[in-house]
Amino acid sequence: MAEAQRERVFSLRELTRLLRLTPKRAAQLRRLGLLRVESVGYRFRELVACRVAAALLEAGASVRRVREGLAGARRLAPNAETPLAELRLLVEGQRIVVAHEQLRFDARTGQALLDFPELELERETRESLAWGRVRPLIPPRDAAEVWFERAAEWDGDPERWEAAVDAYERVLAIDPAYAAAWNNLGLLQHRMGHYELAGDCYRAALEADQACPQAAFNLGSLSEDLGDLPSAIGWYRRALEVDPGYADAHFNLAGVLGRAGRNDAAVLHWRRYLEIDLGSPWAQIARSHLEAAEAPGAAGDEPGERGGR
């Protein structure tokens, strides 16, 4: 259990690749003290801080204002382990604003910015929101669940993939052992064609939860996309070791085995798939490939591929 809870550590090279940092941006992050020259590891919360700072710089904020904004976020949530994951920093004109839910603050002064007419909100803001007294508005674990739900809602829409990636990264800054978030983030990176990043995320999901068949399945799918059939077979078998009734893994494994010329083994998994799924369009595809694989001397056609989650 202690091994599963170990926090992922990223190298400087991995961090630079994940955030797509240009030399100029990396130099600015060093000035902010977020990147260190020496070869040391970075926790996910440090990666998130670099991502937030880079976004503010990209939006036109100066290094000085970003430094003030990061310090302000930490002061506004002194009891939060990862304030930059629970708060949102925006560039508005010449200032950086710290936002959370319906509350907004000037990052430099800590002054509440009231955009809502409700007198009760104004009264509560004046009475309770002062430097050094503001607590995180939602507990860390609940915050992770909120961000996960948002990410899962957004990741089905290609136009919101970047927002979904950001939301999953916020989840992982709060809970680095959240296997489902690692897996879903890997799927997004996979769909966007970032294969190396996708593989890193899938493996992190398995590090967090060795009994995560979806991550093993997705590593099999990624291996197929990269043309590595032996690895694909190994990962699909790993998924089935964890969940013998994982229909998609039987389907894809049968297809890979057929492509590798191992029709006898493919037949076993086509049959197992059809024991689980009898009526869907995928069952019709599986049945046609089973018939082809059982035909004397048949090499078998390449099947369709089922996606994972």
Least confident of 142-146, 157-161, 224-228, 296-300: 296-300
Higher pLDDT, 239 or 106: 239
The reported pLDDT for the residue numbered 50 is: 86
Q: Is the pLDDT of residue 264 over 50?
A: yes
pLDDT of residue 140: 52
Q: Which residues contact 117 (CB under 8 A, 6 or more apart)?
A: none
Say how far apart CA 89 and CA 104 lie, in whole Å.
9
- Three-class secondary structure of residue 213 per DSSP: helix
Mean pLDDT of 234-260: 93
Paired with 42 in beta bridges are 10
In this prediction, residue 238 carries a pLDDT of: 95
**Is residue 308 a contact partner of residue 221, using CB atoms and an 8 Å limit?**
yes
Give the pLDDT confidence of 10-25 residue by residue, as tens digits.
888 888 888 888 888 8
Where do the structural domains in the chain lie, given as residue ranges? 9-137, 141-294
- The pLDDT of residue 284 is 84
The answer, yes or no, to whether residue 189 has pLDDT greater than 80, is yes
Instruction: Count other C-beta atoms under 10 Å from residue 206's C-beta.
Output: 23
Percent of the chain predicted with pLDDT > 70: 75
Q: What is the pLDDT of residue 196?
A: 92
Helix axes 229-242, 213-225, angle to 10 degrees: 170
Q: What architecture does CATH give domain 141-294? A: Alpha Horseshoe (1.25)
Q: What local confidence, expressed as pLDDT, does residue 138 receive?
A: 46
Q: Is 81 or 140 the better-scoring residue by pLDDT?
A: 81
Is residue 152 pLDDT above 90, yes or no? no
**Band (255; pLDDT cuts 50, 70, 90):** very high
Relative orientation angle of helices 195-208 and 213-225, to the nearest 10 degrees: 160
Is 80 exceeded by the pLDDT of residue 232? yes
**H runs (alpha helix) in 59-194:** 63-76, 83-86, 119-128, 140-154, 161-174, 179-191
Assign 1 a pLDDT band (cuts: 50, 70, 90). very low
Computed over every residue of the chain, the mean pLDDT equals: 78
- Half-sphere exposure (CA, 13 Å, Cβ side) for 237? 11
Question: Average pLDDT in the 213-242 region?
Answer: 94
